[in-house]
Amino acid sequence: MAILVDAATTAICQGFTGRTATYHAERMIAYGTRLVAGVTPGKGGRTHLDRPVFETVAEARAATGANASLLFVPPAAAAAAMIEAIEAGITLIVAVTERVPVLDMLRVKAALAGSGCRLVGPNSQGVLSPGLAQLGVMSTLNARPGSIGIASRSASLTSEVVAQLSAAGLGQSTTVGVGGDPVHGLSLADCVTLFDADPDTAGIVLIGEIGGEAEERAAAAVAAMRSRKPVVGLVVGANAPPEKRMGHAGALIAASRGTTARKLDRLVASGVTIAPRAHLVGETMRSLMMPRAVTR
């Protein structure tokens, strides 16, 4: 079992005919993801990658029954594309687009309320359930099916941790890139809750960074669930200077908030085991999972 995406997920791609979307759509199709159609306004009625192209999400969903959408749309138009998918009844949106304007994302958050749709991103590397489905741009090279769930704010660290876990004999149930923009959909705390409810996820890895309070909220979720599933945490950016954005739009220490120390304190207090270094996440989880069956 997995969270968010599995072999039954049926997806469309918004911005389907663009160069970047084409490249990653080909990868997803080759991986086995059921990507059944695309949406590009002005190109409806065409065929691309042997899939039909539609003018609107509503038309694509009506024709295919798709329940998920992967979004490759420029920042200025991304919010409107997300809202279009929400209003069409799509239940999962994975938004790869980076630096969507904050005010635009507030409109998206309002549209999500009560809709039954989950948004992953924006600025997300995607969602991967190894051997089942991939929606996004992450590497699948080192991913292996298994029982460790990963929720991350960092794309590059996600790839590193997946490789470490697989090398340690620990496959993954699902890997989720929640996104690095300051206003986004699914949170680290939401992922903790989903992984805790998943019977086939036996351990959880949280990858955080400076800025915001996502890690603190995840710590509160871990404390509240009182689960026996081990949780390993990694928070990077201990040496980042304040008031300077580090890569992601949301990776910013402001007014002494969003620091690594503050996040680590909250995670430790909630019972999370902190990996001492980035290269030791896999070994840290392996030591906690030794008595358990972790691969399938």
How many CB atoms lie under 10 A from the CB of residue 113?
A: 8
User: Residue 237: what pLDDT?
Assistant: 78
Per-residue pLDDT of the chain (296 residues; tens, 9 = 90+): 699 999 999 999 999 999 999 999 999 999 999 999 999 999 999 999 999 999 999 999 999 999 999 999 999 999 999 999 999 999 999 999 999 999 999 999 999 999 999 999 999 999 999 999 999 999 999 999 999 999 999 999 999 999 999 999 999 999 999 998 989 999 999 999 999 999 999 999 999 998 889 999 999 999 998 888 999 999 987 766 665 555 554 544 444 557 888 899 999 999 999 999 999 999 999 999 986 544 44
Per-residue confidence (pLDDT) for residue 246, from 0 to 100: 52
**Token output for 45:** 């009625």
CATH code at 10-120 = 3.40.50.720
Residues with Cβ < 8 Å from 251, sequence gap 6 or more? 153, 180, 209, 210, 211, 237, 240, 245
Fold match, 10-120 / 141-289? yes
How confident is the model at residue 261, as a pLDDT?
87
Q: Which of 258, 161, 171, 242 is nearest to 207 (CA)?
A: 161
| Strand ranges inside the chain, DSSP E | 10-14, 34-39, 47-48, 51-54, 68-71, 92-95, 118-120, 126-129, 133-136, 145-152, 172-177, 203-209, 231-236, 273-274
User: Cα–Cα distance between 188 and 179 in angstroms, integer?
Assistant: 10
Beta bridge partners of 69: 12, 93
Q: Which residues are known to be catalytic?
A: 248
Measured distance CA(214)–CA(218) in Å, rounded: 6
CATH architecture, range 141-289: 3-Layer(aba) Sandwich (3.40)
**pTM of the full structure:** 0.92
Contacts of 178 (CB under 8 A, 6+ apart): 120, 121, 124, 151, 152, 153, 184, 185, 186, 187, 188, 191, 214
Residue ranges per structural domain of the chain: 10-120, 141-289
Could you give the CA distance from residue 9 to residue 70 in angstroms, rounded to a whole number? 12
